[in-house]
Amino acid sequence: MNASNQPASVQTPWLWPVLVTTTVALFVASLKVGSAPIPLWDLATGNAGPEAATLSLILAEIRLPRAILAVFVGGTLGLCGAVLQGLLRNPLAEPGLLGASSAGALGAVIALYFGLTATLPLALPLGGIAGAVLGIMLILFLAGRGARPSTLILAGVAVNSLAGALTALALNLAPSPFASLEIVFWMLGSLADRSFEDVTIVLPFVLLGWPILLMLRRPLEALTLGEDVASSLGFDLRHLQLRVVLATGLTVGACVSVSGNIGFVGLMVPHLLRPWVGHHPGRLVAPSALGGAALLLGADLLTRSPVLGQELKLGVVTALLGAPLFLHLLWHLRTRLL
């Protein structure tokens, strides 16, 4: 936990191979595992038997888009968690706890249920992005850089409950009778039965936002030396903050608009990876993308486990995994919180 215990330059050499292998393995597993296992090798070699047509349809139209979405959404949440934690120098910062995700969900809900998407399909991700950007801006306004963790968490609570209440209100006022039942999806998220249509909704914004987030590596590193030093090194902090707001808003907003609000990924991933990059916030950024992808692929596999006979909501699994870690972090921060 303590950075001074490790030499500053140490990055575990096997971190990348491990992350890449895990992500690839989980990606393949999420193609294979489901209501029926798909024998990928047999299907590829034409030995899958009479069910081949159905199985390849399931593979191509259901499991592949689902796995790709898990990579995009999980990667985005991990990436944004690392960037926000670095920018705010606060281990509790992440899109879910700060309310960016729920604000994004609110934007998407308004776009979808009030008919904007019917006239303009792009309205769905754009609504999500608008919501997420506003959410982060509100957070930075309430508790800017260097705020105490308690202030930041309280600001997150405020934004989260406001966005949650407005989402419930919007769904109640929506003309569709199904709207109020669908609040579960927006609050807890799911990747079940999504299609390539959803992938194409997210793709452009991920392609736009991820490079911006990945390039924040150096300014975040400079920021660890203090804001004054960072400015003297030529990093404009207002500019940096603006880039973070826009890039997180773009990616989180677009992802939430197809997956619903999935919490705790952005909290867990940077925290788990931090010891392996020598506690460098800058070096944490890129691995957090892969880590988030792997975590969400794994969590999505758990939702398909037949133990309960029912699909779990994805946000339920990530909360079950993430909430204990959150409590653990709070326990260790309690001296600073008070």
Residues that bind another protein (CB under 8 A): 34-36, 51, 54, 57-58, 61-63, 112-115, 117-118, 174-179, 181-182, 185, 192-193, 195-197, 309-311
Kindly state the smallest distance separating residue 41's Cβ from another protein, in Å.
19
CA angle 20, 291, 224 (to 5 degrees): 115
Nearer to another protein, 111 or 139 (CB): 111
Task: Count helices and strands (H / E) in the chain.
Answer: 17, 0
Kindly state the smallest distance separating residue 81's Cβ from another protein, in Å.
26
Angle between helices 265-273 and 281-303 (to 10 degrees): 130
Q: Is 216 helix (H, G, I), strand (E, B) or coil?
A: coil
- Distance, in Å, from the CA atom of 313 to the CA atom of 270, rounded to the nearest integer, reads 23
Residue 16, Cβ neighbours under 10 Å: how many? 14
Kindly state the smallest distance separating residue 138's Cβ from another protein, in Å.
26
- Distance, in Å, from the CA atom of 323 to the CA atom of 263, rounded to the nearest integer, reads 9
Residues in the chain: 338
Nearer to another protein, 94 or 198 (CB): 198
Nearer to another protein, 59 or 162 (CB): 59
Nearer to another protein, 182 or 227 (CB): 182
Asked if 96 and 77 count as a contact pair (C-beta separation under 8 A), the reply is: yes
End-to-end CA distance of the chain: 20
- Distance, in Å, from the CA atom of 126 to the CA atom of 249, rounded to the nearest integer, reads 10
Kindly state the smallest distance separating residue 298's Cβ from another protein, in Å.
19
Nearer to another protein, 113 or 264 (CB): 113
Asked if 129 and 104 count as a contact pair (C-beta separation under 8 A), the reply is: yes
Kindly state the smallest distance separating residue 80's Cβ from another protein, in Å.
24
Kindly state the smallest distance separating residue 61's Cβ from another protein, in Å.
4
Nearer to another protein, 57 or 229 (CB): 57
CA 207 → CA 180, 203, 212, 247, distances in Å?
33, 6, 9, 11
Nearer to another protein, 116 or 272 (CB): 116
Asked if 217 and 283 count as a contact pair (C-beta separation under 8 A), the reply is: yes
Kindly state the smallest distance separating residue 124's Cβ from another protein, in Å.
10
Nearer to another protein, 17 or 309 (CB): 309
Quick one: which of 103, 85, 146, 71 has its CA closest to 268? 85
- Distance, in Å, from the CA atom of 267 to the CA atom of 85, rounded to the nearest integer, reads 9
Nearer to another protein, 151 or 195 (CB): 195
* CA within 13 Å, CB half, 35: 11
